[in-house]
Amino acid sequence: MSFFQTAFVFLVVLSVLVFVHELGHFVVAKRAGITVQEFGFGYPPRLFGIKFGETIYSINLLPLGGFVKMLGENAAPGDPGAFASKSKRVRAAVLVAGSLMNFLLVPVLFSAAFMVGESVPCGRCERVQIYGIQPGSPAASAGLQEGDIFVTIDGQPIKEPDDVRRLIRAVGERPIEVVVRRDTQNVSLRMTPRMSPQEGRPIIGIALGPEFVTVKRPIWEAVPLGIERTADTLRLFAQGIGQIVSREQPAELAGPVGIAAMTGRYARAGLTYLLQFTAFLSLNLAIFNMLPIPGLDGARLAFVAVEGVRGERINPRIEGAIHFVGLMLLITLMLFVSYNDVRRLMPT
């Protein structure tokens, strides 16, 4: 996949996540009677916009995000249509809606992945597939490829991984004929196993196992499986956070460049893997955006909670300044992480 193809797929994935997130804010704000001044895709400067009713729907230059601009976000209560004039419950609902939409998207994407088809090992198919090939090994020299399915070795049929190991041990280091199924045809190759000093037996340098087959689920099976996969992913996510907090494993940050590179790898693996990765990104966005970090919805929600405890709102100018500083720090962190991503991706 070329750089431009990777960039395009990344922007499509990001667009879906951003649109769903901002749509949550937009719908709840509208239903609450809040004046939405702009529904923006990307960050300013604005490229163009169309006004319908009270709202400008805009496309902006920087495609790494989006926003819903509401009347009176960082102002004192005044206009009945202002965000600040609504009750704490309404404001909290608007703030949570974006992350909630991203969270609800997760089982939808996992369900779609199950319907597109998931590759699973077929233990009853009696076929053996090559999962990986060691560079410079006899298998690599003979022309075997990842994904090949063994048909025969030295004229003997292959039905399970132990057949391959047994026959390779039996022939020793003499040349043998190997027939594999590649795509829709059989390919015959000559290969000479090599004695491994570490293992004390002949090897050909492959990882192998049962053939992977694509299993497509109907929607009535895919949806429960998608919900189950979401719960499993949440558990793994919580375990990962716990290990980071306890310093069992280091925290690893990826910026837009790193995420784009990962998106390209999953896209090359197939649509199923891309959908699953997008679901994982959506879950990350839902959780991260609810953290009480200035500039994020989680911090705005925290201010609403403080208001509930104090009985009065914090000075809107102070709150706005805190969110602005937090946003600038987040952008700086994003640029720093992206710089490190570029350094890791550059050839040494």
Report the predicted TM-score, pTM, of the whole model to 2 decimal places: 0.80
Write the CB contacts of 195 (distance below 8 Å, at least 6 apart in sequence). Answer: 173, 201, 202, 203
- Is 218 in a helix, a strand, or coil? coil
Looking at domain 122-215, its CATH class is: mainly beta
Query: What average pLDDT does range 313-333 have in this prediction?
Result: 80
78-136 pLDDT per residue, tens:
778 888 888 899 999 999 999 999 999 999 999 999 999 988 888 788 889 999 998 98
Where are the strands (E) in 270-311, listed by range?
none
pLDDT of residue 308 exceeding 90: no
Provide the pLDDT for residue 283: 93
Residue 147 tokens read as 């994904």
Hey, is 64 helix, strand or coil? Answer: strand
The per-residue pLDDT of the chain, averaged, comes to 86
Is 22 a residue of the active site?
A: yes
DSSP 3-state of 2: coil
Predicted pLDDT of residue 123: 74
Kind and range of the H or E element at 191? strand 185-191
Which secondary-structure segment (H or E) carries 69?
Answer: strand 55-70
**Of 20, 48, 7, 76, nearest to 289 (Cα)?**
20
Residue-wise pLDDT for 181-229, tens only, equals 998 889 999 988 988 877 778 888 899 988 888 889 999 999 999 999 9
Burial, 188: exposed, middle or buried (Cβ in 10 Å; 0-12, 13-18, 19+)? exposed
- Cα 217 to its chain centre, rounded Å, is 21
Nearest to 145 by CA among 122, 129, 124, 128: 129
Q: Where are the domains of the chain?
A: 3-117+219-345, 122-215
Residue tagged 């088809």 (tokens): 117
**Torsion angle defined by CA atoms of residues 128, 130, 134 and 137, in that order, rounded to the nearest 10 degrees:** 60
- Tell how far CA 184 is from the center of its chain: 32
The most confident of the ranges 297-301, 310-314, 331-335 is: 297-301
Q: What is the pLDDT of residue 261?
A: 81
Which helix (H) or strand (E) segment holds residue 182: the answer is strand 176-182
**252 with 341: CB under 8 angstroms?**
no
Size (the chain), residues: 348
CA 274, CA 282: separation in Å to the nearest integer? 12
Place of tokens 């000559």: 190
| Cα 259 to Cα 8, 144, 334, distances in angstroms | 13, 32, 12
Tokens 């609902």 -> residue: 93
Instruction: Output the pLDDT for position 340.
Output: 67
- CB neighbours of 168 closer than 8 A, spacing ≥ 6? 153, 193, 202, 203, 204
Active-site residue, from 22, 38, 73, 211: 22
